[in-house]
Amino acid sequence: MQTLARLAAAAFLAAPAFAQLTVVAPNGYASTVGNANNTFPWARGTASMRYQQIFDSSHFTLQGIGFPVLIQELKFRPFAGAVTSWAGGSWPNVRIDLASSPVDFLAASTTFASNLGPDLATVYNGQVTVNPGSTLGAGVVVPWHVTIPLTTPFLYDPNAGNDLTLDVHLDGTGWTGTSRACDTVSLVANNPLMTRIFSTAGLTATTGTVGTHYGIVCEFTYVPANGLFASFRATPSTGTSPLAVTFTDTSYSSAPGGVLAWAWDFDNDGITDSSAQNPTWTYTGCGDFSPRLTVFDAQNPPDSVVRTNLIRTDLVTADFTATAIVPGVYQFTDTSAPTPTAWAWDFDNDGITDSTAQNPVHGFGSQCSATVKLTATLNCRTSQRTRSLLLAPASLSSANGTTGTTATPSVGNFFNIQVLAPEGILVCGLTGQTYTGVGAYTASVYITPDTYLGKDTNASVWRLVAQGQGFMNGGTVGAPSVNEVPLNAPFYLPQGDYGVAVYHTAAAGAAYISYTSVANGPFSNSDLVIHPSPTTAPGLSRTGLFGGSAFGPPRPWCGTFHYTKVTLNQQAGYGVFGLGCAGPLGVTNLSHNRHPQLGQPLTVTMNNLPLSSAIMMTGFSRTSSVFGPLPFSLAGLGAAGCSGLVSPDATLFLVGAGNSAAWTFNVPNNSAMIGVQMFQQALVFAPGFNALGGVTSDAAGLVIGL
pLDDT reported for residue 402: 65
Looking at the chain, the whole-number percentage of residues with pLDDT higher than 70 is 95
Three-class DSSP category at 520? coil
Residues of the chain with pLDDT under 50: 1-18
* Domain span(s) for CATH 2.60.120 in the chain: 394-565
State the CATH architecture for 573-703.
Sandwich (2.60)
Helix (H) or strand (E) segment spanning residue 644: strand 643-644
What one-character-per-residue DSSP string does 42-86 give?
A: TT-TT--EEEEEEEPTHHHHTTT--S-EEEEEEEE-B---SS-EE
Query: What is the CATH class of 228-313?
Result: mainly beta
> CA–CA distance from 347 to each of 352, 371, 389 (Å)?
9, 7, 10
Q: What is the largest CA-CA distance in the chain?
A: 107
Query: Which of 333, 356, 342 shows the shortest CA–CA distance to 314?
Result: 342
For the domain spanning 320-390, the CATH number is 2.60.40.10
CATH 2.60.40.10 in the chain is located at 228-313, 320-390, 573-703
pLDDT attached to residue 438: 77
What pTM was estimated for this model as a whole? 0.64
* CA nearest neighbour of 517 among 639, 675, 634, 401: 401
Summarize pLDDT for 651-676 with one digit per residue, the tens: 999 999 999 999 999 999 999 999 89
To the question of domain 394-565 being in CATH 3.30.930, the answer is no
Contact assessment for residue 541 and residue 525, using Cβ atoms and an 8 Å cutoff? no
Distance of CA 249 to the CA centre of its chain: 40
Compute the distance between CA of residue 20 and CA of residue 73 in angstroms, rounded to an integer. Answer: 10
Q: For residue 652, what are the contacts with CB-CB under 8 A and spacing of at least 6? A: 615, 616, 618, 663
User: How far is the C-alpha of 703 from the C-alpha of 673, rounded, in Å?
Assistant: 9
Distance CA 335, CA 318 (A): 7
Give the chain's radius of gyration (CA, Å). Answer: 33
CB contact at 8 A, 160 and 60: no
